[in-house]
Amino acid sequence: MRRVILLILFALITQISTAQLTYQQVWVDYDSAWTFQNLQLIPIRFRGEGAGMPLYREMLPNKYTTLSEGMRTGKVKVKEFISKGDADVHILSVINNTGKSILVNSGELLTGGKQDRMVGETKLIPPGKDEYYVTVYCVEEGRWAKKPREFSHSGNADLDLRRTMDLTQHQADIWKDISDRFKSQKMPLGSSAYAQLDREAIKADSAYRNYFNAKMAKTDSAFAGFLAISGDRILGAELFVTPSLFNNAWESMLGAFSRTAISRGGLPSVDIKRMEVFMDALLENETSQKKTLAQSGKAYKYENLVIGLIAYGF
């Protein structure tokens, strides 16, 4: 009997590991766009329960909290990871005592430590006393403190900086991107801390959050994700395999979209045909999706299962 159960589980895992978020599971609701000032969000919704989605719900956690909430309450501890006598620039340790799982999102900003960092991956961290490790990148080139400060959660990087990180995975390219922004804003480089940039955009962010969170509160739909538009640009699309994962990632997703729209966007002016071309390349089938992600995106995985993805626009 045990052998039979193991074979069934193996078959299910094999099936789900090859499943992707495609038009078989989701659809893009172009007629229900949400628009506020420089940002337009087009919902990506599940088709019924979605092919493969019930299996994911069985295998993934069902209770989540966010990294920001966990750090705010002191139940999540983020610390420098010490290697060879000093902190490792590209790794932080995380202990989750919230009693819930955390979906740590790519692009979340952690200020403090020996220098400010940006989370470099999207991953699930279960609750418990175990220490987990998260890949990060420096977003403060000029500081390496002898004594680390306590880390604080400081929102999200804009989608353009996330794109630089995901598509190059080179620290030097991230520093150059930040340095170019200091020059374009005619600001002294100082410590080249990303946190010093776009102060006005950060202040304006609350208006965007209020609007889109109010829209979210009034709907009972189960979302997979959103396509984001600003000015004449498709910023990108981010989506997840279950409503619970999406709900946990929503604030982080909204923060990245909003910051980009405020600081580098304009009134949305992309026609639906361009959106359809972009989304067809991402969602038509697994072959086109893999090609699209290889060129301009990234898949998120949990124990080798694809749990979400992001595709950057043009």
Residues 110-159 pLDDT 10s:
999 999 999 999 999 999 999 999 999 999 988 888 888 999 999 999 99
Nearest alpha-carbon partner for 71 in 95, 107, 105:
95
Q: pLDDT (tens digit, 9 = 90+) per residue, 41-63?
A: 999 999 875 544 666 767 888 78
Tokens of 305: 């299962």
- Say whether both 205 and 58 belong to one domain: yes
| C-alpha gyration radius of the chain | 20
Helix axes 243-264, 199-217, angle to 10 degrees: 140
Edge-to-edge strand ranges of the sheet holding 123-125:
64-65, 101-104, 123-125
Q: Tell whether 3 is covered by a domain.
A: no
C-alpha–C-alpha distance, residues 163 and 155, integer Å: 17
> What is the chain's mean pLDDT, rounded?
88
**Which residue is associated with the tokens 């109010």?**
214
- Say whether both 178 and 252 belong to one domain: no
Q: Tell whether 274 is covered by a domain.
A: yes
C-alpha–C-alpha distance, residues 225 and 200, integer Å: 27
pLDDT at 49: 59
Q: What is the mean pLDDT of residues 210-227?
A: 93
Q: What is the mean pLDDT of residues 4-19?
A: 45
Q: Tell whether 54 is covered by a domain.
A: yes
Q: What is the mean pLDDT of residues 98-105?
A: 95
pLDDT at 190: 61
Asked if the model's pLDDT at residue 16 lies above 90, the reply is no
- Say whether both 69 and 58 belong to one domain: no
User: Which of 137, 161, 194 is the last residue before a domain boundary?
Assistant: 194
User: Which of 149, 167, 194 is the last residue before a domain boundary?
Assistant: 194
- Say whether both 114 and 43 belong to one domain: no
- Say whether both 70 and 49 belong to one domain: no
Share of the chain above pLDDT 70, in %: 88
Q: pLDDT (tens digit, 9 = 90+) per residue, 235-290?
A: 999 999 988 999 999 999 999 999 999 988 999 999 999 999 999 999 999 999 99
Alpha helices in the chain (DSSP H): 2-18, 53-59, 67-72, 159-168, 171-184, 199-217, 243-264, 272-283, 286-296
pLDDT at 53: 62
DSSP state letter for 40: E
Q: Tell whether 213 is covered by a domain.
A: yes
User: Which of 168, 194, 220 is the last residue before a domain boundary?
Assistant: 194
61 alpha-carbon distance from chain centroid: 18
The parent domain of residue 163 ranges over: 65-194
The DSSP bridge pattern shows strands 101-104 and 64-65 to be: parallel
251 alpha-carbon distance from chain centroid: 9
- Say whether both 141 and 206 belong to one domain: no
Q: How many domains does the chain have?
A: 2
Q: Tell whether 2 is covered by a domain.
A: no
Tell me the pTM: 0.89
Q: Which residues contact 262 (CB under 8 A, 6 or more apart)?
A: 37, 38, 39, 198, 200, 201, 204, 205, 208
- pLDDT tier at 4, thresholds 50, 70, 90: very low
pLDDT at 58: 74
Q: What is the mean pLDDT of residues 196-201?
A: 71
C-alpha–C-alpha distance, residues 217 and 183, integer Å: 40
